[in-house]
Chain A
Amino acid sequence: MGPFYAIKKRYLYLLPALPVLVFFFAFFIYPLFEMLKISLWKSLPYGEYEKILTLENYVRFLTDPFYLKVLWKSFLLGVAVTAVTIPLGFILAYALWTSTGLKRKILYFCILFPLFTNLVIRLYGWRIIFSPTGPINVILLNWGIIDEPLKLIFTFPAIVVGLFSECTPYYVLILFSVLTLINRRYVDAAVDLGAGPLRTFFRVIWPLSLPGVVSGGFLTFIWSFGAFATPTILGKPVHWTAAVHAERQILSVRDWPFGTAIGFMLLLFVVIVLFVQGRLVPKVRTQRTEV
């Protein structure tokens, strides 16, 4: 057995993975690389650009207080949505975990149905709900609780609610797949040793489910941070995230170098977040084996 044969034997099993790798390199990695090149070109007025290598698009983004504020607001949006999704999504995942039979089927349906329903349609539903003539305002007006319609639509909380309903089904499914790995005997043991339900939850179930909470939570954060649809439909231009500004620069202003530079700042941020997650998850895993 020569060394070449050994290498061939070791990597031959990867051959069926070749099509997806080729596809991703051609339509994902390479286009992103081309985009990176454009973001380093000099931007000229009226959508023109000159092929001179420069960092000025990035400098412009990072020194303009307006765009720094946009970035900061996108970050806050991501944090707010994640903070709401983690506990509320956990409740649903826990309900799914402890349910059986028909109840589990119904809960599954209630999670998968919104997940598979068009995002735009769901956002349209929120627009109807939050509109000044929508059910919330009209019912509160009729009951005499308020005198004039509340401003619900085009506000920050409206965007948070919209993103929450967008991310929760994914978060619940990820968390549920981790919960199913938990050995029920640990729960029984805690109860036998006299722990109340809250104590059992916080000392046994919560630590064991942390890998799911962490990966689901980070996915929620990344999606809300890079959100595009929800801020444009449920928000005003002041609520626009960096992703929306990137799209505006490309499709409206046609400033390609600057728009792509915004996009890459967004991507850099996502990579940093994923790196942090990568450092965090193994710690959680070692904790799991100790329990």
Chain B
Amino acid sequence: MGNREYLRKSRRGTQRINWNSVVFNISVWIVLILLLAPIVLVVFSSFSGKTHLSWPFTDLTFRWYGEVLRRSLWVKAFVNSLIIAALATAMSLAIATPAAFALSQRKHKESSFIRSFISWPLMVPPVMVGIALLMFLSRAGLRGSYLAIAIGHTLWAAPLVFITMNAVFERFNPVYVSAASDLGANGFQTFVRVTLPIVRSGMISAVFLGFVISTQEFIIALFLYAPKTITLPVEIYTAIRYEISPGISAISVYMIGIVAAGLLVIDRVIGIENIGFGGKG
């Protein structure tokens, strides 16, 4: 299937091609190690029995996993992250899905402008968004609330949900919609009864994307949080400036575990290849 098999059949000798693929495979491994090493190290270090982290991690233990759950600050931050992520996901889906549907239907000048406008928040440095929202939302008396942080995260998650959903709707065959309207359904009925069931897998991927983007964002949260609504990334960020300890690793592993479990579930439901920003292979 892959074009490397074709390359192997080429007229120039096989030896050079093998050499190429050796170098290529080593490079792939190096890149993968660079991507995965930090996560693997965090997981390893959470089992370290020593209170200060130093290699090699000895006296392996599970005790940090229990200990960290007894620290109410960490648990609170964890729960806050989940609440805010749920809020942000709901808002992103609610505003981005209809827009993705509308803009996938027609290709005019204004629709391509709106499409690029929706991705602007991804281009603006998050520090700018944080500062701007801090000023605006403190004036509205919302600073430090769950809603404030969720609004900030929606600016980051909605464009990604939009891109995913837009790709889904573009692959979607409009014949079904015309059939539904020929049979007398209005726009809303068509959307709920015909369009939504077809785009289910895209929706699942978008929900996952929105949720995860919100749980990992912390720059906007850093500007907007109050002690009562601190999120886990902000808590970790402030903690690791002063210490690195197995306790922080353990709470991180809980978070990593959620992501890994989510990815595996998604793979079961819709196939891991279908997550992404419209890049379907």
A residues contacting B by CB (< 8 A) are 10-11, 13-17, 19-21, 23-24, 27-28, 30-32, 34-35, 38, 88-89, 91-92, 94-100, 104-105, 108-114, 116-129, 131, 133-135, 137-139, 161, 164-165, 168-169, 173-174, 176-177, 180, 184, 187-188, 191, 194-198, 200, 219, 222, 225-226, 228-229, 232-233, 243-244, 246-247, 250-251, 256, 259-260, 263-264, 266-267, 270, 274
* CB-CB nearest in chain A for B20: A197
Complex Cα distance A195/B91, Å?
A: 52
Complex Cα distance A165/B38, Å?
A: 9
B281 x A120 contact (CB < 8 A): no
A112 x B275 contact (CB < 8 A): yes
A98 x B4 contact (CB < 8 A): yes
Whether a CB of chain A sits under 8 angstroms from the CB of B36 is: yes
* CB-CB nearest in chain A for B118: A20
Smallest CB separation, B73 vs chain A (Å) = 16
Smallest CB separation, A284 vs chain B (Å) = 17
Main DSSP-derived SS at the A contact region:
helix
**Contacts A125-B38, A169-B35 known; 9 new A-B pairs at CB < 8 A:** A27-B154, A121-B233, A128-B244, A133-B54, A177-B276, A196-B12, A228-B127, A229-B219, A266-B128
A243 x B114 contact (CB < 8 A): no
Complex Cα distance A123/B233, Å?
A: 11
- Which of A17, A113, A137, A180 interacts with B280 by CB under 8 Å? A180
A24 x B117 contact (CB < 8 A): yes
A176 x B279 contact (CB < 8 A): yes
Write out the residue numbers on chain A whose beta carbons fall within 8 Å of the beta carbon of B252.
118, 121, 124
Smallest CB separation, B24 vs chain A (Å) = 7
Complex Cα distance A247/B31, Å?
A: 32
A23 x B135 contact (CB < 8 A): no
B218 x A229 contact (CB < 8 A): yes
